[in-house]
Amino acid sequence: MQSDNHAEAPVLFFDSGVGGLSILAPARELLPRMPVIYAADRAGYPYGTKSEAEIAARVPALLGRLVERYRPRIAVIACNTASTIALAAVRAALDIPVVGTVPAIKPAALSSKTRVIGVLGTEATVRQPYVDRLAAEHGADCTILRHGSAALVALAEAKLRGQPLDPEVARTALLGLIEQPDGERMDSVVLACTHFPLVQQELEQAARTLGTRPLAFLHGGEGIARRIAYLNGDLPWPETPAPGIAVFTGSDPDIAELRSALKSYGLTQINAL
């Protein structure tokens, strides 16, 4: 599946839902002429409550179909759960560069003063050996607290659809970290799900309500943007890129609710896969 190495070849962003928009945004800011395909696997959503075997089988096959159809120059798995489980298999299956999204434990460990770091992700992500390795390699002198929240994923989806938000969801997610031993000393929270930067404002408000010490919320969007630019190298971008395309698997009866949010990210065309 060779990518068409010309200016119009897009960058493919892939997630189970709309969380990957938090990765797309800094990439668009750094690379404004980048053509974009954003693929949301609504038929498989949510990934965070699925088994490792389900995700390991589904993600490489689906990305293979997307690459065959859209011929991207680079694929970005804009999903922590899919990356921590299926990144190696996807790289083995595709012959274009593949960028994964992994929890920002390294920058959190570099900046934490109290040496207590929270990792807030999906249930599937926070239990992965990949997270164990990151913690051992970059945060060996830190206490790493973990909490999985499917409800926070749903909150981010609801926010982009313009639906009413329950502040208790963000509060409960933070309490899942704070109420663990040493949780009151936590000063950094790694947003280990790409949905979660979309509700960072709600998490910050929850922290103020709970009266925690100041918390730094970290994620890897800007680093991924720089990685895309590096991998692209000298390949040209179009002077005026085509309108961005959002691709959805399965049916979504509420897709109209997302049109405004998708348009704000430059995704003006919606396709089905």
Q: Where are the alpha helices (DSSP H) in the chain?
A: 21-30, 52-70, 80-93, 105-111, 123-126, 129-138, 150-160, 167-178, 200-210, 221-232, 255-264
Average the pLDDT over 42-55 and give the result.
92
The pLDDT tens digits for 228-264 are 999 999 999 999 988 999 999 987 667 888 999 999 9
The pLDDT tens digits for 192-236 are 999 999 999 999 999 999 999 999 999 999 999 999 999 999 999
**C-beta separation of 255 from 45 below 8 A:** no
Q: Residue 168 above 50 pLDDT?
A: yes
Share the mean pLDDT of the chain.
94
Q: Residue 1 above 60 pLDDT?
A: no
CB atoms within 10 A of CB 252: 17
Q: Residue 4 above 90 pLDDT?
A: no
**C-beta separation of 130 from 204 below 8 A:** no
Residue 171 region by backbone torsions, left for phi larger than 0, else alpha for psi between -120 and 50, else beta = alpha
Domains of the chain: 11-101+221-272 (3.40.50.1860), 105-218 (3.40.50.1860)
The pLDDT tens digits for 81-109 are 999 999 999 999 999 999 999 999 999 99
Average the pLDDT over 138-167 and give the result.
95
Q: Residue 2 above 60 pLDDT?
A: no
Position 6 scores a pLDDT of 77
- When pLDDT is cut at 50, 70 and 90, the band that residue 151 belongs to is very high
pLDDT above 90: percentage of residues in the chain: 90
Active site residues: 79, 193
